[in-house]
Amino acid sequence: MSTVQKKKLLSGPMIRNAVKDSFVKLNPVTLMKNPVMFVVEVGTFIVLMMVLLPGYFHASEALGFNITVFVILLVTVLFANFAEALAEGRGKAQADSLKKTKQDISANKVTGGSIKIVASSELRKGDIVVVSQGELIPGDGEVIEGLASVDESAITGESAPVIKEAGGDFNSVTGGTRVVSDEIKVRITSDPGESFLDRMISLVEGAKRQKTPNEIALNTLLISLTIIFMIVVVTLRPIAGYLDVDLEIPVLIALLVCLIPTTIGGLLSAIGIAGMDRVTQFNVLAMSGKAVEAAGDINTMILDKTGTITFGNRMASEFVPVGKETEEDVAIWAALSSLKDETPEGRSVIELVKKLGYSYDAGLASGAEFIEFRAETRMSGMDLPDGHKVRKGAVDSVKRWVASQGGIIPDNLDQHSNSIAGKGGTPLAVAVGNRIYGLIYLKDTVKPGMKERFEELRKMGIKTIMCTGDNPLTAATIAAEAGVDGFIAESTPENKIEVIRSEQKEGKLVAMTGDGTNDAPALAKADVGLAMNSGTAAAKEAANMVDLDSDPSKIIEVVAIGKQLLMTRGALTTFSIANDIAKYFAIIPAMFTLAIPEMEVLNIMGLGSPSSAIISALIFNAIIIPLLIPLAMRGVSYKPMSSTRLLRRNIFVYGFGGVVVPFLGIKLIDMVVSLWI
């Protein structure tokens, strides 16, 4: 992960900028975007007028109380602004780091038959540029000629360069990355201001962050509750007057502010921005907040087998003896043949021997001659100092080599070889001189921990479907080993679209990963499409998320982040509304106890006086917002479980907790405030 994303939750400069922005956001035009806090600001202004013009409002006797209410209300608005500014500040910090990567560099533009040096800002979609070793790629594009090693650390944070070549699924390059070897010809695919890096900067800044459907729905609920409580408070004064209870305007405003959901109103925007930020921390660029939310509601996940569920390289998984040989003999000779074989297959043979606990003399490699693999022989091996010639390779090639030395082919060699091939594996024969010892069973190995991760998804209620071009027998073997819920063998792009449509017809949301042009239609059709940054421009354009690390299995983390975002919003909404119950028991008795002594029975917290009760409730209402900022930014911890269990847990923790915490908090604050009043 890049240094751009290794951010602390809070830092000094970030807090200072957020404090400054908190006052800037007091502008009513800005605050109107948050209706709940706008109502609080209007109430703050009204109380301020009563403080500045006490004679006009006949509020001279309660001047001290009014000043206290004004200060607390102002702090409440500032805290809400601070939460949003802090979340935006983290995005801006990331954007500033990315802007350092974005620079106006020179480009070798192909014009006619010549090369013209121009500024990268002058390049347009369709232009062709030549980029040589050591030069920065001037803009997003596709390699149309050549092959080169490209350093993408400025974007992904990974130091290892990646190979980009014309044709295939690895021809996409990003502006601001550097060519470290060879030379490539690139066709630019974006106009100035529309590049991948430009979009990334805009999104992490929050400049183009649109409210998601769930966020809009919740905002509508908060507005509705605010309007309802406003009506209640407005009608409360004439009712109280009928009972000869004089309710002052600051008291009514205090009641309104305590009853409307100010906690979630102040944190709602911060939760959304922080959700996008958490995705970015995983080196995933979400094109919209809607995509992150959709990930949280996913029912079905479609995953490619190669590179996602499996390593993609065929690895040694078993030693199969033939004739009268033993597994240990096969393992030892296979290891000796692989001592200097640096291919993934060769390294996997050594690892399997160690795993099985067999020992061999690695010192033999020092004086041995390594026989490299060649297409003509289809074998590799070692000529050992003691005269033994060890070979491993394609079964037919090894059989011919052994036969040429007068050896006898074991009767069950072909049977075992065909059995491995029938399972979708690759058999490699191991021979020493004129004697075949057995076979190495190579297969595309499932990544460690995938079965457990799919079990977690199952607990979330998500069905997993593996797509592979393998035959049904191999597909079934891998599917059983990985623990997926279903698979599609001999899969085509059309098959992926068909299964997506089938799941969506049942009202399910579908996620999938892909990197090739042939994946683009399915990525566009899926509700959440995660494209690989190493893939084609078509795939990245079709998807609504791009993984900068090009790790297909990261879709699992994206789903968890989406669920965490929805949980955080739901949990804090529950907590906010539950808060109102405690504040109700603090303020209502305080308003009416003097005129109606019977109301004292509702003062279950035993608060000191009407004034201290109101002040204490207001103070708690204000300070709970900054206390919840870390939770809003970091997100509620998520553990895979069923929706029913999750709902039950959150209602207990944030519903019951949302009632108990204010009771304790208001009581403690009242004990201090009573001493002052």
pLDDT of residue 168: 63
CA 22 to chain centre: 28
Separation CA 146–CA 594 (nearest Å)? 87
Whether 307 has a pLDDT exceeding 70, the answer reads no
Helix (H, G, I), strand (E, B) or coil at 110: strand
Structure tokens that stand for 104 in this block: 């106006």
Whether 28 has a pLDDT exceeding 80, the answer reads yes
Structure tokens that stand for 291 in this block: 């995509």
Residue pointed to by tokens 């969506």 = 504
Beta strands 128-131 and 178-188 are antiparallel
Section 139-148 average pLDDT: 87
Residue pointed to by tokens 């043949």 = 337
Phi, psi of 449 (to 5 degrees): 85, -5
Which one of 213-227, 278-292, 525-539 scores highest in mean pLDDT?
A: 213-227
Separation CA 647–CA 215 (nearest Å)? 19
User: Within a 10 A sphere around the Cβ of 654, how many other Cβ atoms?
Assistant: 22
Longest Cα–Cα distance of the chain, Å, equals: 118
Counting beta carbons within 10 angstroms of the beta carbon of residue 20, is it exposed (0 to 12), middle (13 to 18) or buried (19 or more)?
A: exposed
What tens digit of pLDDT does each residue of 183-223 get?
899 999 888 777 666 666 665 555 445 566 777 888 888 89
Q: For the chain, what is the mean pLDDT?
A: 83
Structure-model confidence comparison of residues 206 and 344, the more confident one: 344
Residues annotated as part of the active site: 304
Structure-model confidence comparison of residues 328 and 33, the more confident one: 328
Structure-model confidence comparison of residues 281 and 238, the more confident one: 238
Helix (H, G, I), strand (E, B) or coil at 352: helix
pTM above 0.85, yes or no: no
User: Which residues contribute to the annotated binding site for Mg(2+)?
Assistant: 515, 519
Q: Which of 52-66, 115-129, 246-260, 464-478 shows the lowest per-residue confidence on average (mean pLDDT)? A: 52-66
Whether 351 has a pLDDT exceeding 80, the answer reads yes
Q: Which of 42-51, 245-254, 301-310 shows the lowest per-residue confidence on average (mean pLDDT)? A: 301-310
Q: Are 249 and 70 in contact (CB under 8 A)?
A: no
Q: Are 321 and 331 in contact (CB under 8 A)?
A: no
Q: Are 110 and 129 in contact (CB under 8 A)?
A: yes
pLDDT of residue 3: 35
- pLDDT bin (cut points 50, 70, 90) of residue 1 is very low
In 3D space, the residue among 551, 515, 517 whose CA is nearest the CA of residue 535 turns out to be 515
In 3D space, the residue among 454, 644, 486 whose CA is nearest the CA of residue 559 turns out to be 454
Whether 640 has a pLDDT exceeding 80, the answer reads no
What tens digit of pLDDT does each residue of 354-396 get?
999 998 888 877 788 888 888 778 899 999 888 889 999 989 9
Q: Are 582 and 635 in contact (CB under 8 A)?
A: no
Q: Are 162 and 87 in contact (CB under 8 A)?
A: no
Structure-model confidence comparison of residues 560 and 431, the more confident one: 431
Separation CA 478–CA 561 (nearest Å)? 27
Separation CA 141–CA 126 (nearest Å)? 9
What tens digit of pLDDT does each residue of 622-631 get?
999 999 988 8
Q: Which of 66-75, 193-202, 437-446, 447-456 shows the lowest per-residue confidence on average (mean pLDDT)? A: 193-202
Count of positions (residues) in the chain: 677
Structure tokens that stand for 536 in this block: 């084609």
Q: Which amino acid is at 114?
A: S
Q: Which of 227-236, 385-394, 446-455, 505-514 shows the lowest per-residue confidence on average (mean pLDDT)? A: 446-455
Rg (CA), the chain: 34
Q: Are 493 and 518 in contact (CB under 8 A)?
A: yes
Q: Are 295 and 513 in contact (CB under 8 A)?
A: no
pLDDT of residue 319: 95
Section 642-646 average pLDDT: 75
SS (H, E, C) 7-33: CCCCCHHHHHHHHHHHHHCCCHHHHCC
User: Which residues contribute to the annotated binding site for ATP?
Assistant: 341, 345, 373-380, 392
In 3D space, the residue among 178, 173, 166, 202 whose CA is nearest the CA of residue 188 turns out to be 173
- pLDDT bin (cut points 50, 70, 90) of residue 78 is very high
What is the sign of the dihedral through the CA atoms of 455, 457, 462 and 464?
Answer: negative
Q: For 279-403, where are the E strands, in sequence order?
A: 284-286, 300-304, 310-321, 369-371, 379-383, 389-394
Structure-model confidence comparison of residues 284 and 393, the more confident one: 393
Supply angle C-alpha 446, 451, 454, rounded to 5. Answer: 120
Helical pair 327-337 and 344-356, crossing angle rounded to 10 deg: 140
pLDDT of residue 5: 40
Beta carbons within 8 Å of 452's beta carbon, 6+ residues apart: none
Helix (H, G, I), strand (E, B) or coil at 222: helix
Beta strands 486-488 and 379-383 are unpaired
Beta carbons within 8 Å of 166's beta carbon, 6+ residues apart: 143, 144, 145, 146, 147, 184, 185
Residue pointed to by tokens 């109107």 = 32
Separation CA 258–CA 263 (nearest Å)? 9
